Amino acid sequence: MMQAHDFELFDSNQQSCTVIFKWTGVYAGFFKNDRLFDRFGRYLGWCDAQGSVWKYDGEWLGHVVEQNYLARDLRALSQRRPPQVPPVPAQPPMPPTPRVARAVRPNCCDPLEALLRMPASEELIGEWCSDDEILRLSEDGSFQWTAMESTTNAVGHWELRGPELLLCWEDIEEPERMYWVIEFSGDSLLLRWMRKTGRSLPFWLHRRAVQPDIRDDADESQAT
């Protein structure tokens, strides 16, 4: 029988938290007052009275299984609910000991694998764009940031430090800017600028597809 201390911990304020693991056994985060947070205390979503878990933007993630896991039925249709007002970041408890890896239930996946995926440095190389900006991250560690309405480019060097993207800008007042990687899907990147004073809103960047060189294609056609 599972004892309470196997799945409940206390934060620094002695408030009860239910820890959540990936099915691989890795500690992923915790529930506090029915709110789901990652291991750093970042808000991920919420759990309703039926045990369904919803992402911060209202997307259905899955169900709580055996109190410490999440599982999403691959046969179920996607669902959405209105997002809830996000709480302030939570104080995380002391990380628990990892568990033995287990197989996910049949016809299910672990929704935390995609939700908590973090990029490797090589996965960020390329061009990322929003509606009004383009960020080019190069393999040699340099970057170029271009605003659509501007004819000048900001340049510098970049480095990925775990869940944080550091951009060291040249010739500006605040040269080092840290961006928290909130979400990464391979082709989309959700960032928040960790300003020294105040907070910035999260913003999306999307990978810019490399356009084929039409001239090269034409040359190859003529050659054949």
The structural domains of the chain, ordered by start, are 4-115 (no CATH), 121-207 (2.40.128.280)
pTM > 0.75: no
Nearest residue to 18 via CA among 2, 34, 41, 1: 34
Do 95 and 27 form a contact (C-beta atoms < 8 A)?
Answer: yes
Q: What is the pLDDT of residue 213?
A: 53
> Residue 189, class by beta-carbon neighbours within 10 Å (0-12 exposed, 13-18 middle, 19+ buried)?
buried
Distance separating alpha carbons of residues 79 and 38, to the nearest angstrom: 22
- Tell me what pLDDT residue 215 has: 52
Q: According to the model, what pLDDT value does residue 219 have? A: 54
Distance, in Å, from the CA atom of 113 to the CA atom of 33, rounded to the nearest integer, reads 23
Output the pLDDT for position 6.
46
What's the pLDDT at 148?
A: 77
Spell out, as residue ranges, where the chain has pLDDT lower than 50. Answer: 1-6, 11-14, 214
> Quick one: pLDDT at residue 99?
96
Residues ≥6 apart with Cβ < 8 Å to 22: 28, 69, 110, 112, 113, 116
Place of tokens 């900006």: 133
Mean pLDDT of the chain: 86
How far apart CA 218 and CA 224 sit, in angstroms, is 10
AA letter at 73: D
